[in-house]
Structure 1
Amino acid sequence: MAATIKDIARVAGVSTATVSRVINNLGGYNEETEKKVNAVAKALGYRKNENARSLVQKSTNTIGVIMPDVTTSFYGDIIRGIEDMSYEHGYSVILTHAGSSGSRILESLNLMGERRVDGLIIVSIELHDAAIDALTSLDIPFILLSTMTNRADTPYLKVDDYAAAYAAVEYLIANNHRVIGMAGANPNDPISGAPRILGYTQALRDHGIKVDLNLIKAGDFSFESGQAAMKSFLEDQAPMTAVFCASDEAALGIISTCFEHGIGIPTDLSVVGYDNSKVSHMSIPPLTTVAQPLYDMGREGCSELMDAVQHKIKIESKVIPHELVVRKSVRTL
């Protein structure tokens, strides 16, 4: 059984009121009493009940963040942006993972409710009606980052994945590539995967290039999915001169497999990634990629949430701009 304030008071030989004042740093006691109470509390393994305290204060000064299991480096900059903005406002961050594809989202929402977070950020998880209903029932401000729903009661902040993918493929076409593969996207993901595939296919059609479904290799945006895609391209003896990847890590998987097979980048194959995560400029050669402003997305999303928490300002959904960052992984034919 956990130690209580009464237990500490009994062992320390002081009143429960004195113990409460020491534990909550309220003053009105001497240094010797403070040391004695803290020593006894530590010895008894006492843990202050922050949830009970927050019931009185009506605020926990915490922001909850729910994201999928981390399989790529995509999330690092977003989380850093959230944390930096939170700490600037005197808030701490509680982070939890909702499993692959958000399979444990309801459990994560229950946890955030139990911890009584003041606001909630959900990153890159597809939300169905049951999860949205559970989310709104918490009755706290929230925002979705790098994901969205069709419901007006779920504000979001994200890039237009269709337009960004279209721009990447159009850049390859402008460099005279006509046989262009795609790798790493999950077609069953309506938030990021399907729109990027659609942007790829539409860009080809709009420039008079027939879509070859054999040149589309699905994946989960990971390094391994890029490796698997390139091995499949090689087995198929695909005649492509370029490949658009649904993530930077998938692009690195492509480049890694090309290196193993003596295929030069970009001399033999041009590669474009997606995200502009930290790994993109570390690759050899440095990766041309579609930039999502990941850190800024985290900061801006958290700033919107802070305004809602502290000033009751309604959060409005927003599409943020993408940018094509040209490096050294594409050549002109």
Structure 2
Amino acid sequence: MAGLSEIASAAGVSVSTVSRVLNRRAGVNHETRQRVLAALAELPHTSRGVAALGRTGVVGLLVPELSNPVFPAFAEALETRAARAGFSCVLCNTRSSEPDSLGEEQYVGMLLARGVTGMIFVSPGIANVSPARRTARSAYYHQLVNDGVRVVFVNGGVPSADIPDVAVDEQLAGYLATRHLLDLGHRHIGFVSGPARSLPSRLKHAGWATALEEEGLAARPALVSHAPYGAGGGARALGELLDREPVTAVICSSDHMALGAIRECHRRGVSVPDQLSVIGFDDSPLADYCTPPLTTLAQPIAEMARAAVEELAARLDPDAGAQPVGAHTRIFRPRLVVRESTAPLR
């Protein structure tokens, strides 16, 4: 309870109030809740019970959202693999749209106050900040490691920090998606991208550009349309792209964006794939059930979850002889899954 006491002291509230905030219970007004969350984010990690790490057998799973089906799929695979390794899990949704929700740093504070064994971040916050902010953001993760926190990333590493990263090859995914469309005869291929600051989108963009340039085609900025991740963003980005470019095919940063893009095609009377081929990324559980079923690049989620838990377990048991030395990345190859949303150019 020492961690809770320090949070309570910093926020000027009781320990029971801190407990209610951390457990998302009613009975705490908005202003008090915000004071507790601010104290949680500002206290040094060393004062949040880091000494208790490794004793509880509880692992924090931090995912950016649950509305995109790929993240619940990752959470389920990680929880299953962690349970086999003897860990229980606390799931943290770090970008919830609910009022008074906790962000990534606040969830980290909550987990440390409870003395968790370690943490696995899926698409951590640093993966979605601009390049100019990456240095400042990476300092936060450096401090976690320096304070003795056992951390593993899934898709979003910090090369300068001693944090293993289990990642799918996003650049190869962009390349393979574009190569598939080129092989079908398409030459006017657009990119429905997530935010320009997003590292996964930038990597897929690089793969898209490489494949086009191999064919002697220009990867023109006008062929790229950015929008927030999600079905709504995919619909908006495709609409803006179609309004300015006569593309015959598009790759999308995620299946979620691809579903929105297909919906926008239906709204405009554009036939998929007869008039526009659409390809996604993730192979989320819904990809095979939309109309038409979605061609996509699959992430090997089960294999990546196993690797992430193995990395965490190795760091928790330095006597086992398998503890990683320094930062490194385990890269997994995406797999092209061809369904009905792509077709030869007509």
- Common fold: TM-score over 0.5: yes
Aligned counterparts of 1:289 and 1:161: Cα–Cα separation in 2: 13
CA contact (8 A) 1:187 1:197 kept: no
Q: Does 1:329 align with 2:329?
A: no
Q: CA deviation at 1:156?
A: 0.5
What is the identity, as a one-letter code, of the residue corresponding to 2:315? Answer: A
**Structure 2 match to 1:72:** 68
The C-alpha deviation readout for 1:115-164, integer Å capped at 9, x for no partner, is 11112101101432332123214413221001111215111000111111
Task: Give percent identity, aligned residues only.
Answer: 27
**Residues 77 and 298 in structure 1, CA contact (< 8 A), matched pair in contact too:** no
Write the mapping of 1:109-120 to structure 2, written as runs, cut at 5 A. 109-120=108-119
- 2:30 match: none
Is 1:267 aligned with 2:279?
Answer: no
Residue 81 of structure 1 deviates from its aligned partner by 1.0
The corresponding residue for 2:218 is: 210
Unaligned segments of structure 1, at least 5 residues:
1-53
Query: By how many angstroms is 1:84 displaced?
Result: 0.5
The structural deviation recorded for 1:56 is: 9.1
What is the TM-score of this pair, normalised by structure 1?
0.77
CA distance in 1, matches of 2:139, 2:67: 25
**Alpha-carbon separation, structure 1, partners of 2:117 and 2:90:** 11
Partner of residue 95, structure 1: 91
Change (3 A) 1:317 1:212: closer
Distance 1:138 1:313, change over 3 A: farther
After TM superposition, the structure 1 stretch with the greater mean CA deviation from structure 2, 73-82 or 62-71, is 62-71
CA distance in 1, matches of 2:252, 2:52: 51
> Using the alignment, how far apart are the partners of 1:56 and 1:208 within structure 2?
58
Q: Secondary structure at the match of 2:293?
A: coil
Across the two proteins, how many residue pairs are aligned to each other?
Answer: 277
Normalised by the size of structure 2, how large is the TM-score?
A: 0.74
SS class of match (2:286): helix
Report matched runs for 1:282-293 at 5 Å.
282-293=289-300
Alignment deviations for residues 90-134 of structure 1 (CA, whole Å, 9 cap, x no partner): 32101223337xx93332222221111112101101432332123
| In structure 2, C-alpha distance between the alignment counterparts of 1:266 and 1:137, rounded to whole Å | 51
Q: Is the 8 A contact 2:63 2:75 kept in 1?
A: no
Alignment CA distance shift 1:73-1:57 (3 Å): closer
CA distance in 1, matches of 2:314, 2:123: 22
The DSSP-based 3-state class of the residue aligned with 2:91 is strand
- Measured in 2, the distance between the counterparts of 1:266 and 1:308 equals 47
Structure 1 runs (4+) deviating above 4 angstroms are 54-58
Cα-to-partner distance string for 1:223-248 (whole Å, 9 max, x where unaligned): 11111022213432x21110111100
Task: Report the RMSD for the aligned CA atoms in angstroms.
Answer: 2.3
Correspondence 1:227 to 2:235: yes
The question of whether the paired residues in 2 share the 8 Å contact of 1:109 and 1:134 is answered with: no
Task: Work out which of the two has the higher radius of gyration on C-alpha atoms and give 1 or 2.
Answer: 1
- Of 196, 202, 205, 1:197 maps to 205
